[in-house]
Amino acid sequence: MLTAAAQLLRDRQLRQPAAPAPTLPTKIYSRLERLLLRVADPLVHFRYATFDLKLPLSHRLPVFLHTCPHYNRNLGRLGKLVHDRYPGLTAVDVGANVGDSVAVLRAESNFPILCVEADPTFFNLLHYNAAQFKDVELAQAYLGEAPSELAGKLVSSSGTGHVETAAASNGATQTIRIRTLCDVLAEHPRFAAPKFVKTDTDGYDAKILRGAAPCLAKSKPVLFFEYDTYFLKQANDDGLSLFATLKDLGYTDLLVYDNLGVLQPPARLADDAALHRIHNDLCEGRPGGRYADLCAFHAEDADLFATALRSETEYFK
């Protein structure tokens, strides 16, 4: 009964016209959703392109995609551009969640993807949803800057999750084994030298990319990652030092998007003023505030960056 009600509610929400301000029916459906979520969080089906994804009602992806026409779709366009340049590429999706990023990528192009997800609930749904895709491997792992053990717990809400340390947690904690991306890639030889890496881990992106530096130095992949100053602070990360790491690895240019997927002025990794503008102006540093999605290109892919910038600029005209 609850599952059927949740599916009906989600379908009705997505049939409403996308509007700058919520309409009365939208407000009513949102209220009903909040009431239902007080009782349970049933699984619903959501159609993206030709793919059918199962996810919790609380997952905000369908709503964001419906109300924000550019949200997350830049990932698919950029993945296709990299694949056009490197037809034999393999890709890594860190923070794969329920498999929605795979659907976004596969809607535009087709290449092997290694999905890494830590949250057990999301991983189970990822396993279910990934069955419809070919050339996808899965790994359940918590990633960080260096191998370690952390006392804490995973906090999940609205389709996303992050690790809360014991010092910040008021509830029961567990020992979480932190690994590096290089460790995981060593267990999946097909993806040992990926040419496209996406991370979306609510504040751990910088730590994960720093920890992956030895692997990144070898394959020099295009990097698509979330940069959210609020979650970076929660993870005790200054964020800005990541840009120095990328610069040392030979990365030179960034495509910059706001959290709704809208293209912003690009940035050079040698331009400290531009990096501070991303950190201070594009990101709000509060829960639910604005953040940035960044796509970094190695110096060896300067021509690919130019192609991507030209293509994305044309797309937003």
Asked if residue 88 and residue 59 are part of one domain, the reply reads: no
Handedness of CA 80, 83, 84, 85 (dihedral sign): positive
Instruction: Please return the burial class of 300, using the count of CB atoms within 10 Å of its CB with bins 0-12, 13-18 and 19+.
Output: exposed
Report pLDDT digits (tens) over 243-287. 999 999 999 999 999 999 999 999 999 999 999 999 999 998 888
> What CATH number does the domain containing 120 carry?
3.40.50.150
Give the structural domain span for 13.
2-64
Q: Are residue 85 and residue 53 in the same domain, yes or no? A: no
Q: What is the pLDDT at residue 171?
A: 61
Confidence tier at 19 by pLDDT (50, 70, 90): confident
For 183-201, write each residue's pLDDT tens digit.
Answer: 999 999 999 999 999 999 9
Q: What is the arithmetic mean of pLDDT over 91-112?
A: 97
Residue 133 tokens read as: 């895709």
In eight-state DSSP terms, residue 228 is -
263 in the same domain as 215: yes
Instruction: Tell which of 21, 45, 64 closes a domain.
Output: 64
User: Quick one: tokens of 141?
Assistant: 């792992």
Assess whether 76 and 48 both reside in one domain. no
Residues 28 and 89 in one domain: no
Query: Could you tell me the strand order of the sheet in which 148-157 lies?
Result: 142-143, 174-179, 148-157, 160-165
Same domain, 192 and 246: yes
Do both 303 and 234 map to the same domain? yes
Do 51 and 77 fall within a single domain?
Answer: no
Specify burial of residue 24 (Cβ count, 10 A radius: 0-12, 13-18, 19+). exposed
Q: Mark whether 101 and 238 lie in a shared domain.
A: yes
Q: Closest by alpha carbon to 269, among 293, 241, 290, 292?
A: 241
Domain check: are 80 and 161 in the same one?
Answer: yes
Q: Which of 16, 38, 64 is the last residue of a domain?
A: 64
Q: In total, how many domains does the chain have?
A: 2
**Of 168-177, 202-211, 264-273, 300-309, which gets the smallest average pLDDT?**
168-177
What is the overall mean pLDDT for the chain? Answer: 92
286 and 143 fall within a common domain: yes
